[in-house]
Chains A and B, each alone.
Chain A
């Protein structure tokens, strides 16, 4: 008797499924409307906006400085970076000179935050792929970064540390020493992660050759940050459009190499983040050695009125390019504040790359793009 089944005799029907908005693997309240043929995804359409708080409208109703705490709520895993990006944008608009020590402090906290953000990305991604242990390792290290931040600004999640013209307070005595201790502790851990999970056969099998994005598509669809570099495009705003004191530091731009499959697959996007943590450590060591003494904030009045004009500033955040398009009409509030967030633009390519994947791969794609919902919905 033949054991083969006549495939044509089995009727198949497309099915529409809701993934989210409450789903453990969508990294927040993301709803994906799935049309599937069995386990194969015919179409996956993202539905965003569940966390919309009207931040851009709120910006128009507050003086420049008062909007700072709201930027914490853009990308809550990298609040320091969002704070600093907004401060740099306003300073560019108003032509404010920032003391050098303040710039060094910003770079230090931004790079620390990049490490902690990539740790969460790494941890939750591996948890999505069915390995829960690495998440606990990642959280253990992130706690130490949170402790460091708590010491200088009192908060562990939404820091509100940057100010227009500098930062809210100088570093506490011995803080830089503690950062150094953390770096000495943390750097060998990256190898530990690689031994633990990165080259695990099952993990690689889940990521390699999945959701390949070509470099051309990356640029056309506006992918930035590790997602762009994962496809082999060596573009990093810290190097290519240097701002703050980044030109003083020696570091590499990490790119995907198609190590385990095709260039630009989920594994490449994952490994870029792991490599970037090493580069952040490198920047931090240099910054600690070079940080000058001096004031940490310029003399800027609490409410100030930049001359009428427009500016666009973009910074390299852990998830990619965060841009602020600010328009001043000469009053104390921004006339318009458009916030360009990397995750929002990344979601645009989601429908294209998920076509024809298995449902379980959708989770890999979301994790590899490292999206965060509050900055999508703003």
Chain B
């Protein structure tokens, strides 16, 4: 069997997730998205992640990038996944309410997630429940607010130094 036969495109991955997780898999963002995103509900993220890593047709063993995004109306976490053995790529995205963005941490699935989740927490205030170590990483611990949010208001000063 050549690599081409086992290489799944985003549509096939979406279908496979849909049959398994039902309504927790919301939609496929395809046109204009490179790679395409499978949108899942935040409550299912840990189960979906485990399935994507462990299933023999998926084998997404590598988390390339995890990013927080502020879409103004809501927040999102975007995961870019890659399979080292099957060579396919897919994005997974989950939308979160703006007032209390929280979802399960995936650092038990991909240990690489830890620093990336810490950054998303630091910059967007997204709360990763069950993380092994969720602290600010790039900013000082007493920095006010989460500066990558679109509605962020810069402080006048920090410890007496004008910002």
| Contact indicator B112/A49 (Cβ below 8 Å) | no
Q: Is A232 an interface residue (CB 8 A)?
A: no
| Contact indicator B147/A57 (Cβ below 8 Å) | yes
- Chain A residue nearest in CB terms to B63: A222
Q: Is A138 an interface residue (CB 8 A)?
A: no
A168 to B40, CA, bound (A): 43
- Chain B residue nearest in CB terms to A216: B61
A311 to B78, CA, bound (A): 11
| Contact indicator B34/A312 (Cβ below 8 Å) | yes
| Contact indicator B110/A52 (Cβ below 8 Å) | no
- Chain B residue nearest in CB terms to A312: B80
Q: Please report which residues of chain A, range 210-239, place their CB below 8 angstroms from some CB of chain B when the two chains form the complex.
A: 217, 219-222, 233, 235
Q: Given A312-B91, A323-B80, do A219 and B35 touch, yes or no (CB 8 Å)? A: no
| Contact indicator A338/B65 (Cβ below 8 Å) | yes
A348 to B80, CA, bound (A): 18
Q: Is B67 an interface residue (CB 8 A)?
A: yes
| Contact indicator B91/A219 (Cβ below 8 Å) | no
Chain B contacts for A93, CB-based, 8 A? 34
- Chain B residue nearest in CB terms to A326: B34
| Contact indicator A336/B69 (Cβ below 8 Å) | yes
Q: Given A52-B138, A221-B112, A348-B111, do A57 and B148 touch, yes or no (CB 8 Å)? A: yes
A92 to B76, CA, bound (A): 22
| Contact indicator A325/B78 (Cβ below 8 Å) | yes
Q: Is A244 an interface residue (CB 8 A)?
A: no
| Contact indicator A54/B111 (Cβ below 8 Å) | no
Chain A contacts for B111, CB-based, 8 A? 217, 220-221, 348-349
Q: Is A245 an interface residue (CB 8 A)?
A: no
A221 to B148, CA, bound (A): 25
- Chain B residue nearest in CB terms to A338: B67
A14 to B62, CA, bound (A): 36
| Contact indicator A309/B33 (Cβ below 8 Å) | yes
Chain A contacts for B67, CB-based, 8 A? 325, 336, 338
Q: Is A370 an interface residue (CB 8 A)?
A: no
Chain B contacts for A378, CB-based, 8 A? 138
- Chain A residue nearest in CB terms to B80: A312
A93 to B110, CA, bound (A): 27
Chain B contacts for A54, CB-based, 8 A? 147
Q: Given A57-B148, A220-B110, A321-B64, do A345 and B32 touch, yes or no (CB 8 Å)? A: no
| Contact indicator A323/B147 (Cβ below 8 Å) | no
Q: Is B139 an interface residue (CB 8 A)?
A: yes
| Contact indicator A310/B32 (Cβ below 8 Å) | yes
- Chain B residue nearest in CB terms to A376: B138
Q: Is A340 an interface residue (CB 8 A)?
A: yes
Q: Given A222-B112, A336-B67, do A92 and B34 touch, yes or no (CB 8 Å)? A: yes
Q: Is B6 an interface residue (CB 8 A)?
A: no
B127 to chain A, nearest CB (A): 19
Chain A contacts for B91, CB-based, 8 A? 312
Chain A contacts for B70, CB-based, 8 A? 336
- B112 contacts which of A57, A311, A312, A345 (Cβ < 8 Å)? A345
| Contact indicator A219/B62 (Cβ below 8 Å) | yes
Q: Is A344 an interface residue (CB 8 A)?
A: yes
Chain A contacts for B37, CB-based, 8 A? 310
Against B, the Cβ 8 Å flags (1 = close, 0 = not) of A250-264 are: 000000000000000
Against B, the Cβ 8 Å flags (1 = close, 0 = not) of A77-107 are: 0000000000000001100000000000000
- Chain B residue nearest in CB terms to A344: B115
| Contact indicator B65/A48 (Cβ below 8 Å) | no
Given contacts A235-B84, A310-B33, A336-B69, 14 further A-B contacts (CB under 8 A): A48-B137, A49-B136, A92-B34, A219-B84, A220-B111, A222-B62, A308-B32, A310-B34, A311-B33, A314-B64, A323-B64, A325-B65, A340-B65, A348-B111
A-B pairs, top 8 by smallest CB distance, nearest first, are A222-B112, A309-B32, A338-B67, A49-B138, A340-B65, A311-B34, A348-B115, A52-B138
In the assembled complex, 11 residue pairs joining A and B whose CB atoms fall closer than 8 Å, in A order, are A49-B137, A220-B112, A221-B112, A309-B34, A310-B29, A325-B67, A325-B80, A327-B69, A340-B65, A348-B115, A378-B138
